Amino acid sequence: MAEGSVAVVTGAAGGIGLAAAHRFASLGMRVCIADIDTVGLARVKAQLANVARGGEADVLTVTTNVADIAAVRALRDAAHEAFGDVSLLMNNAAIARGGGPYTHYDQWRKLMDVNFGGVLNGVQVFAPDMIGRATPSLIINVGSKQGITNPPGNAAYSVSKAAVKTLTEQLAHELRQNDRSNVTAHLLIPGWTFTNLTSPTPAANGAKPDGAWTADQVVDAMMAGIAAGDFYILCPDNETTPEMDRRRIQWAMGDLVENRPAMSRWDARFKSAFAAFMKSK
């Protein structure tokens, strides 16, 4: 993240994407922010220009539908033309409205095209050029705990984020095996974060719930994780401690190892066993 290097962030008109772009700009990076929300991009460009070392000249906005690989190629070309080689790609764009296993097929397709297809498109389009660069580069894909612990309620979202996890793991392995690569991959796993994605209809007073983190707190954790060389950057929140996260993930993986029913954490027959497991040491 050297001063003058180039960061591309998708889904950057708000939330974690905007917070990350703001941080990158404040570090002296030139930032290319992409979003399908043209009005939102125009609104936040001035915010970023106020902190960028080169002002507005160091901020590029590109309206992009990440589900369309041609649009992602156009994003890459615009970033290269304006700033040169990309040092950091953050595939963050996502939507939340999905569906259950046998409901809302059209919403499923749209969500998968954005949440997984958008990440895949970003990797496919940007990674080959980044691999050839002599200087260290980063690809950060934004996942979710829902793609790991798989809670009920929005199967489409959990499936999309599970796919992002697997893709990013495979990407990290491939990059390690490539002698030409100075690129590292990282999976950012936010906890409960107060954004326009998780809270499309905020509380009446617009206040952040006490249990949620802000997007800036997630970016703080992301920066610390990258500095430490972490692949999995697992974020707690004000309700969920790191130990609680670890235990929940262990239980989820235990369904397979112990041959329990799928998603046993939410099965009444295992309520007492799960509670005891969370309290155990």
Distance CA 35, CA 252 (A): 34
For 8, 146, 202, the CA distances from 210, given in Å and listed in that order, are 31, 20, 13
Distance CA 2, CA 28 (A): 7
Contacts 24+ apart (CB under 8 A), 248-253: 248/145, 248/149, 248/278, 249/148, 249/149, 251/277, 251/278, 252/148, 252/149, 252/150
Q: State the chain's mean pLDDT as an integer.
A: 95
pLDDT of residue 203: 44
pLDDT, tens digit, 9 for 90 and up, residues 215-234: 999 999 999 999 999 999 99
Residue pair 195/219 in contact by the 8 Å Cβ criterion = no
Which class is domain 6-239?
alpha beta
pLDDT of residue 1: 77
pLDDT of residue 205: 54
Residue 31, pLDDT above cutoff 60: yes
> Residue 94: phi, psi to the nearest 5?
-160, 160
Q: Report the range of poorest mean pLDDT among 70-84, 136-150, 183-197.
A: 183-197
Residue 122, pLDDT above cutoff 70: yes
Residue pair 76/122 in contact by the 8 Å Cβ criterion = no
- 220 Cβ contact list (under 8 Å, min separation 6): none
pLDDT, tens digit, 9 for 90 and up, residues 193-209: 998 654 443 444 568 99
pLDDT of residue 195: 87
Query: β-pairing, 137-142 with 59-63?
Result: unpaired
Sign of CA dihedral 79, 85, 88, 90: positive
2 confidence band (pLDDT: 50, 70, 90): confident
The answer to whether 157 is a known catalytic residue is yes
Q: What is the mean pLDDT of residues 2-10?
A: 94
Residue 41, pLDDT above cutoff 70: yes
117-131 helix and 69-83 helix, angle to the nearest 10 degrees: 40
Count of all residues that appear for the chain in the document: 281
Residue pair 232/189 in contact by the 8 Å Cβ criterion = yes
Give me the percent of the chain exceeding a pLDDT of 70. Answer: 96
Q: What is the DSSP secondary structure assignment for residue 182, as one 8-state letter?
A: -
Query: β-pairing, 6-10 with 137-142?
Result: unpaired
Sign of CA dihedral 202, 117, 186, 249: positive
Q: Which of 102, 105, 157, 232 is catalytic?
A: 157
List the chain domain ranges: 6-239, 241-281
pLDDT, tens digit, 9 for 90 and up, residues 142-155: 999 999 999 999 99
- 273 Cβ contact list (under 8 Å, min separation 6): none
Terminal CA-CA length for the chain = 39
For 85, 88, 159, 271, the CA distances from 134, given in Å and listed in that order, are 11, 14, 35, 53
Q: What is the largest CA-CA distance in the chain?
A: 60
CA atoms within a 13 Å half-sphere pointing along the CA-CB vector of 155: 10
